[in-house]
Amino acid sequence: MVNTKTTLCGIELDNPVIPASGTFGYGSEFAELYDINCLGTLSMKGSTRDPRFGNPTPRIAECAGGMMNSVGLQNPGIDAVISTELPKLRKVFHKPIMANICGYSLDEYAENAAKMDKAEQVGWLEINISCPNVHCGGMSFGTVPENAAEVTRAVKAVTTKPVIMKLTPNVTDIVSIARACEEAGADGVSLINTMMGMAIDLRTRKPLLANITGGLSGPAVKPVALRMVYQVSQAVNIPVIGIGGITTAEDVLEMMLAGATAVEVGAANVADPFACKKIIDSLPAVMEKYNIQSLKDIIGGAH
């Protein structure tokens, strides 16, 4: 019998598969399709201080090897998430969850983190300093080590729960960003968020997305994500969550061999709402195929 368990920042998961923020709503929506308690955990849609409508449409576009989005952090605001979405999720999901937090200033990050820290079901805070689809905040905090460290310190000062910093691939040296977060007190890092891209509509001869650019995700980014997870996991002593192009159980094993303690599945959920369940269901057989008895034993095994 294979062991699919892994431990993320001191909290044990039944398996390493986590739906990525922004691709799984608030979780309760997917509970109408299947028992989401099969998941390791889930990362909720990102929350900002104030409600956000998001970017104008069209804001999602298919492309070769994946998709692009410029949703722009649409959400009802953190107070509504805590008062409405968390209670709905608690009824259908009985494990600790990951709260994804966004901000446009250090004060907003700290305020949102302090509020989520008080939510009983929240096990981890995933701090998004990597969103490429907003015009202030987001990725601007994640492209300079000093800025990433500042956000990390601001959040760590107001929370008792593990803090996982979500990093952008749109940098020349992601290792320096990860190290800055670790030195500032981060308990883990998750990577990668989407890569900047665009598409042009030949009929209108205009950019297909109203925001002009968007975040590329899906299988096309997996080699980049795998390389960055490999590099970062060698450079830091905190857990790494691998994100980018994961669609199969084989992809999960690859990410963990590169150094990931757990993985997040993003674009695959948009293409197939049962993607995470299918990956989890097939994981034991794929582990047996490659003579893997315990996932914990293969973390960083490719180094």
Domains and CATH numbers, the chain: 6-55+72-195+217-298 (3.20.20.70)
Beta strands in the chain (DSSP E): 6-8, 11-13, 17-19, 60-63, 66-69, 97-101, 122-128, 163-166, 188-191, 195-198, 200-201, 206-207, 213-217, 240-243, 262-265
Angle subtended at Cα 136 by Cα 169 and Cα 221, rounded to the nearest 5 degrees: 20
> Average pLDDT for residues 193-211, to the nearest whole number?
95
Question: At 130, is the pLDDT very low, low, confident or very high (cuts 50, 70, 90)?
Answer: confident
pLDDT in tens, 232-244: 999 999 999 999 9
Q: How far apart are CA 50 and CA 103, in angstroms?
A: 10
List phi, psi (to 5°) of 66: 160, -140
Structure tokens at 226: 């795998």
> Average pLDDT for residues 50-65, to the nearest whole number?
94
The pLDDT value given to residue 141: 86
Q: How far apart are CA 90 and CA 289, in angstroms?
A: 36
Question: At 211, is the pLDDT very low, low, confident or very high (cuts 50, 70, 90)?
Answer: very high
List phi, psi (to 5°) of 26: -105, 15
Question: At 17, is the pLDDT very low, low, confident or very high (cuts 50, 70, 90)?
Answer: very high
Question: At 134, is the pLDDT very low, low, confident or very high (cuts 50, 70, 90)?
Answer: low
pLDDT in tens, 172-196: 999 999 999 999 999 999 999 999 9
Q: How far apart are CA 237 and CA 12, in angstroms?
A: 18
Give catalytic residues, as residue numbers: 131
Structure tokens at 45: 């849609």
Taking each continuous run of H as one helix and of E as one strand, the counts in the chain are: 9, 15
Q: How far apart are CA 174 and CA 97, in angstroms?
A: 26
- Taking the CA atoms of 294, 296, 297 and 301 in sequence, report the sign of the dihedral they define: positive
**Residue 204 CB partners (closer than 8 Å, separation 6+):** none
On the question of pLDDT at 55 being above 60, the answer is: yes
List phi, psi (to 5°) of 69: -135, 150
Q: Residue written as tokens 């490999």?
A: 230
Are 260 and 242 contacting, i.e. CB atoms less than 8 angstroms apart? yes
Question: At 142, is the pLDDT very low, low, confident or very high (cuts 50, 70, 90)?
Answer: confident
Q: How far apart are CA 47 and CA 102, in angstroms?
A: 6
pLDDT in tens, 20-53: 999 999 999 999 999 999 999 999 999 999 999 9
Q: How far apart are CA 118 and CA 221, in angstroms?
A: 35
Structure tokens at 128: 């998004």
> Average pLDDT for residues 5-12, to the nearest whole number?
98
Helix (H, G, I), strand (E, B) or coil at 126: strand
Structure tokens at 97: 């969850």
Q: Which residues of 177-197 are buried (b: 16+ CB within 10 A; e: fewer)?
A: bbbbbbebebbbbbbbbbbeb
Angle subtended at Cα 217 by Cα 213 and Cα 219, rounded to the nearest 5 degrees: 140
